[in-house]
Amino acid sequence: MVRALAAAAFLASVTAGCAAPLALREEGQRALLLEHVQELEPRVVALLGTEWARPFEVRVHEIEGCRAETRRGDRRVTIDPDSFDDGLRMTVAHELVHVHATGRWAGLPRGVEEGLAYWIAARATGLAEEYEGPEPCPDALRAALTLDDQGYDELHELERADVHQAAAWLASRLIP
């Protein structure tokens, strides 16, 4: 029942979009998004160990500088149309982690949450081996664990990538 409600809410939100929604390039994109959510959401929830019922919306809209986003505290996932070209399953799984990272996960520093999202998404999609990299440098690991939102936002893109890799490495050790 909850799955049916989530699917209906998802489909309605993809249809409704935002104030100035970007038209899906083809009708099949809506079905593809729904298929990925239905496949990956149970896996993400099981890996996180959180509650299932968490309504959210997904919309397709251009985003400058990233493939997708889910704002903290917001249950709206925005997927950039370019995400349909490559890596859509990983992108959807990553954003589902942000939607369902509640309860014990809610207080994580932003860098750790991003790393957790990368790791859980990699596990949910079967790509975990790609994220089991070498031990990160201590500075990146420290930044992942200690930076507040403002400090995280001020990171240069390459520094942020190092923090994400460090946090994903940490998550891979804590959540086998």
State pLDDT tens for residues 130-150: 666 778 999 999 999 998 888
CA separation for the pair 68, 61 (Å, rounded): 9
Average pLDDT of every residue of the chain: 80
**Same domain, yes or no, for 11 and 96?**
yes
> For residues 46, 175, 87 and 105, what is the CA-based torsion angle, rounded to 10 degrees?
70
Residues 16, 78: one domain?
A: yes
- Residues 32, 83 share a domain: yes
H-assigned helices in 52-148 = 88-100, 110-125, 138-146
User: How many structural domains are present in the chain?
Assistant: 2
Range of the domain at 128: 108-174
- Last-in-domain residue among 50, 80, 104: 104
pTM summary value: 0.79
Confidence tier at 53 by pLDDT (50, 70, 90): low
Q: Which residues, in sequence order, are CB contacts of 103 under 8 Å at separation 6+?
A: 50, 51
Of 104, 121, 154, which marks where a domain is finished? 104
Please check whether residues 91 and 16 belong to one and the same domain. Answer: yes
Task: Report d(CA 164, CA 76) in Å as an integer.
Answer: 22
Q: Are residues 98 and 129 in the same domain?
A: no
State pLDDT tens for residues 3-51: 433 443 444 344 333 333 344 556 678 889 989 999 999 999 999 988 7
